[in-house]
Amino acid sequence: MLVLQNLLFAQPFEQWPYSKFKAYLRDGRVAEVRIDSQTIRGKLTEAESDGPEGRGRKSFTTVRVDDPELISELEKHHVDYRGQYENDLLKSLLSWIVPLSLIFLLWMLISRRMGPGQGVMNFGKSRARIYAERETGVTFVDVAGVEEAKEELQEIIDFLRYPQKYAALGGRIPKGVLLVGPPGTGKTLLARAVAGEASVPFFTLSGSDFVEMFVGVGAARVRDLFKQAQEKAPCIVFIDELDAVGKARGINPVQQNDEREQTLNQLLAEMDGFDPRKGVIILGATNRPEILDPALLRAGRFDRQVVVARPDLEGREEILKLHGSKVRLAEDVDLHVIAARTPGMVGSDLANVINEGALLAARYNKEAVTMDELDEAIDRILAGPAKKSRIMAPKEKRRVAYHESGHTLVAEALPTADPVRKVTIIPHGVAALGYTQQLPTEDRYLYTKEELLDRIAVMLGGRAAEEVIFHDLSTGAQDDLQRASEMARRMVTEFGMGETLGPYAVEQGRQAMFLDSHSPSPKTYSEDIARNIDQEAQNIVERMYQRANQVLTEHRDKLEIVAQHLLAHEVIDQATLATLLSDWRPGKEPQFADS
């Protein structure tokens, strides 16, 4: 505005001192002036303006001073003079009103472009993102490895497509479906696929979108969400991370959060109140179903729970085929072998394996992704990228080689331990100086006491090897000791496998069903029982350490063979290990994950 005013509307006045103005006035070179309270503006005569000095300077301005003779001199030289009254109030108002009006119009324009729920005054509006019928871009074709979950949700899709079929029989479709499972199994992708298959509008938002610092905002957003959903019915409302708003009331009496509980109460009321015949389906997703409020899971709200579990061997292979179809794979790539090498991985991990393999193939300037890149990608995901530039001293490298060989030899010696697929002394990740990778021959869901004890012995095999060879210990077994101690304690406190306590579980409280992390529950037992737990867990670890030490002492020659091969080649795969130990398999027959 200032630039336009100066360029288009401002007249070209030349600033003069008052003395110069009086000199021009006495010489008769001024034609007219306009006088206000502070300035004097005037124009030169036409003859003066056409002269060399005045060309282009027809107008001038100067500051008015207290000069009683000014008017008489103007009359004497026949100068046309006028006074000017300025309305300062109007000028001040205009200088404020016009900019504020422009700011208000700009704010209105931005608010409209931001959409509902995002403006400054729209705290109570729902923040759900709305996708049209085909905007999700995902169908069941894009989802693999969760066939049981897809079958459960097929009924929901059928109802949204043909509601009259269910209405004719008097059937009532579930109001809500809760997708539960570990992180990365595809719960959100499955919900988007349901909307894509049913060809209905899809509302998606996170549980944390309801909760704000302002009291009452969460409940208002719940009301607005259900109001929008019923206007666009039939539709699907997907609430991701439902545990953020649906946590059980009173679960933490120390930290009361009335705002979150008000939001949950409003959600419960809205799910009870809306008409199921309108075709509004509520989909929720969480990996913490154990902490959800029981009122949220009762019949009439989230009627059905669909478990989206970790994929089995066949499911992993289907997921790998789905993501492998998007990259160029070499002809020798066997996705069944890759699926066998990735037990416990979820869909996001498997997608990352394919993507990392493609990135590695591009780094090595290959035309297609081969088994070598996929195998390296699995290692990067499990243990982190290899740190080949990290140079270890020969003494430390020798200790790491015997440490990893100890894990390997104990795993191969014990009858129920998982077979070793790969062992390396190349540093990986942040702190791993080497690692031993074991892979089960099949998917496991239960473990016996003997299998858990063998696992503890394998964890302690590295420390035992250091004691057998060097007669000294190092800090390299820190993580092994922590994991072995935790497993021994859980055997006593949770699994009822202790000798003293027997079939008595002392750990109580809500434990995570689908998360790998294990948080200790509040102590609810006496000091005597705590002393017995510590003593028995310590005895288990000590017995398994002595067992590992005995295996390595009896077969020290095999330990030397494996360690020397590691020092020479840094990596031993499953086939090479079978060759090195061809005449020694005391615990089990050789098994290969890729056979």
Question: What is the distance between the alpha carbons of residues 424 and 435, in angstroms, rounded to a whole number?
Answer: 6
CB atoms within 10 A of CB 582: 9
* Known catalytic residue at 152: no
Joined together, the tokens standing for residue 459 give: 């964890």
Q: Answer yes or no: are the C-beta atoms of 242 and 285 closer than 8 Å.
A: yes
According to the annotation, is 334 in a ligand binding site?
no
According to the annotation, is 181 in a ligand binding site?
yes
According to the annotation, is 183 in a ligand binding site?
yes
According to the annotation, is 569 in a ligand binding site?
no
According to the annotation, is 523 in a ligand binding site?
no
Nearest to 586 by CA among 418, 407, 405, 415: 415
Q: Residue 448 is inside which H or E element, if any? A: none
Question: What is the distance between the alpha carbons of residues 79 and 73, in angstroms, rounded to a whole number?
Answer: 9
According to the annotation, is 145 in a ligand binding site?
no
Question: What is the distance between the alpha carbons of residues 205 and 221, in angstroms, rounded to a whole number?
Answer: 11
Q: Kindly list the distances between the CA atom of residue 106 and the CA atoms of 93, 120, 297, 445, in Å, as whole numbers in the listed order.
A: 20, 13, 46, 60
Nearest to 463 by CA among 474, 455, 452, 453: 474
Alpha helices in 15-145 (DSSP H): 18-26, 46-50, 70-76, 88-114
Name beta bridge partners: 247.
292
Amino acid making up residue 54: G
Question: What three-state secondary structure class fits 178?
Answer: strand
Q: Residue 240 is inside which H or E element, if any? A: strand 235-240
Which backbone phi and psi does 59 adopt, to 5 degrees?
-115, 150
Name beta bridge partners: 80.
32
According to the annotation, is 182 in a ligand binding site?
yes
Q: Provide the pairing of β-strand 235-240 with 280-286.
A: parallel
Amino acid making up residue 42: G
DSSP state, 202? E
Catalytic residue among 241, 317, 404, 466: 404
Question: What three-state secondary structure class fits 146?
Answer: coil
According to the annotation, is 323 in a ligand binding site?
no
Joined together, the tokens standing for residue 185 give: 């199994």
Amino acid making up residue 226: F
According to the annotation, is 184 in a ligand binding site?
yes
Name beta bridge partners: 422.
437, 573
Annotated binding site: 181-188, 403, 407, 480
Annotated binding site for Zn(2+): 403, 407, 480
Active site residues: 404
Annotated binding site for ATP: 181-188
